[in-house]
Amino acid sequence: MPVREPESMNELVYFTNRTLDNKGLAKVWVYRQDCPKCGKAKMGKPVEKGKVKIRAKEYVCQACHYTVAKEEYESGLTAQATYTCPGCKKSGEAELPFKWKSVDGVKALKFSCSNCKANILVTKKMKEKGESDKEDE
């Protein structure tokens, strides 16, 4: 199934556009899901005094105010990616679970090139392999 490029950042939970080693590229995004209770609106981080709470530990439906814990909500999301493999230089698309894995001490989204099967890592917070991850969120 081909991935669908986002039209607006408002429909996303996560987005990054990265340059990888050896002239590779990766663009990864995760769409927000509909509220499991009412289905009328997309789940999002809570809004307090007109501003989105950035480091919120939960997601809230703006229509019915249903609340879900961050870990529970994000575990059901799917990330979509377009990339240019740093190994074989071929372009491709991928869908993967939105699950951060620890690779060499750095949290990363990990997927494989559809052509050469090389692992492609999109690290969290622009970290390099080997850096310690002192701050979890």
Q: Is the same domain home to 92 and 132?
A: yes
Q: Is the same domain home to 18 and 8?
A: yes
Distance of alpha carbon 78 from its chain centroid, rounded? 8
- Residue 135, domain extent: 1-32+78-137
Domains identified in the chain, total number: 2
Q: Is the same domain home to 3 and 14?
A: yes
Closest CA to 70 of 29, 13, 123: 13
Q: Is the same domain home to 126 and 86?
A: yes
The one-letter amino acid code at 50 reads: G
- Burial category of 105 from C-beta neighbours within 10 Å (exposed 0-12, middle 13-18, buried 19 and up): exposed
Q: Is the same domain home to 83 and 28?
A: yes
Q: Is the same domain home to 82 and 129?
A: yes
Last residue of one domain, picked from the residues 75, 106, 129: 75
Last residue of one domain, picked from the residues 24, 43, 75: 75
Q: Is the same domain home to 82 and 136?
A: yes
pLDDT tens track of the chain, all 137 residues? 577 888 888 889 889 988 887 788 899 999 988 888 888 888 988 888 888 888 889 999 888 989 999 888 888 899 999 999 888 888 899 899 998 888 888 888 889 988 888 888 888 776 666 555 455 44
Q: Is the same domain home to 68 and 82?
A: no
Q: Is the same domain home to 38 and 69?
A: yes
